[in-house]
Amino acid sequence: MDDMDDIAARQPIYLDSAASTAVRPEVLEAMLPFFTSLYANPSGHHAGGFRASGAIEAARASIADVLGALKEEIVFTSGGTESINAGLKGVAFAQRDSGAGQHIVTTQIEHHAVLHSAQYLERFGFEVEYIPVDARGRVDPPEVIGAARSDTVLVSVMYANNEVGTVQPLAEIARGVRARAATLGRRIPFHTDAVQAANALRLAVDELGVDLLSLSGHKFGGPKGTGLLYIRRDVPFLEQLSGGGQERQRRSGTENTPGIVGIARALELAQAERDGFASRTSMLRDRLLEGIRRLVPDAVLNGDPIARLPNNTHVCIPGVEGEAVVTALDRMGIACSAGAACTSATWEPSHVLLAMNVPLELAIGSVRMSTWPTHTEADIDAVIEALPAVVARLRAAGAPAI
């Protein structure tokens, strides 16, 4: 058996936790009764319905405690995408209808859920200003703050980038926007996409200074199809899903009781363990990066080298296509993700890397690896062992045409 066969024979190594995580055993245990014996509709006016609705309200209280919020400020959704869409569209339309204005400020490196929501709003007459970033993927706080004006109805800046892992100076930006709004004699709601933040960063909404915050359960050990949107009590909001009036008229639809119980338990655990998570995953990340730099010395780290998520390693490898690297590693039992997608007709590099002014020929070779506390040093060493041979083989086959 050669080295490559030996690597492939090992237990699969999942280095894609930024994309999704396994449901934690404690979370699954909390959810299971609501799939079986406690299955009643929470709107039911009987004992089963009361138990289900009681579990939902207990979950709401738990999340509010974690965020430092009020129970009534928590809205349960189907995931991060819905939370972001509802937050941006609900606040924008509510304020436009009241005559407050139609101007929105966001950044060029937001998740597509934010960018596509912004583009959707542009179709309805909103003006969206997209703030650029520097080569590390960081926005300049004064640029965001200075963009706010008398007709601005919303500012949205992500907490941590889902691709390169850069963490924004969110509290500084939010404080500045609030002060700027005060000089304009108005309130400008501030939203953040915190989907990547729950495992390692503090989510206290008053400390961050945010008015809306979006989360997705499957990013921190919760179930897929679950999300939440924090909406500060006095922020104007127009519901985006109408029907039975659930979630205090802000999001209609029969509540996903097991999912709500699950996301609440997952968030409790993630926030309680975030210091340990950061310590463990950053050690593994640094080991991985050191090995890559030693054996693939022309690989380039993307994102801020210090202000970044502790489990994020995002590199560009010259002379290869990221998707090809991911495919080759997958055949060896190593799962990661590419930062650029390619079709037979055209290259589609990451909008994040292009906003950071990464050259196109380098951007197409981007690969993201995200560590998890359950990884071992042996797992990381196996990846370090595998990657150089993959890169060498792909380079020998010829660099991708652009």
pLDDT digits (tens, 9 = 90+) for 385-399: 999 999 999 999 985
pLDDT digits (tens, 9 = 90+) for 209-231: 999 999 999 999 999 999 999 99
Q: How far is the C-alpha of 402 from the C-alpha of 393, rounded, in Å? A: 19
Segment (H or E) for 259? helix 257-272
| Domains of the chain, each with CATH number or no CATH | 3-18+274-397 (3.90.1150.10), 25-272 (3.40.640.10)
Determine the Cα angle at 301 with ends 297 and 305, to 5°: 125
The full length of the chain comes to 402
User: Can you tell me the mean pLDDT for 185-194?
Assistant: 97
User: Can you tell me the mean pLDDT for 312-338?
Assistant: 97
pLDDT digits (tens, 9 = 90+) for 280-291: 999 999 999 999
**Residue listed under structure tokens 């495992």:** 199
Quick one: what percent of the chain has pLDDT higher than 70? 94
Q: How far is the C-alpha of 83 from the C-alpha of 113, rounded, in Å? A: 9
Catalytic site includes residue 342? yes
The pLDDT confidence band at residue 125, using thresholds 50, 70 and 90, is very high
Of the candidates 28, 342, 354, 389, the residue annotated as catalytic is 342
**Residue listed under structure tokens 């974690």:** 66
Which CA distances in Å does 86 have to 48, 201, 241?
A: 30, 23, 9
- pLDDT over threshold 50, residue 166: yes
- pLDDT over threshold 70, residue 2: no
pLDDT digits (tens, 9 = 90+) for 38-85: 999 999 999 999 999 999 999 999 999 999 999 999 999 999 999 999
Quick one: what percent of the chain has pLDDT higher than 90? 92
User: Can you tell me the mean pLDDT for 296-323?
Assistant: 97
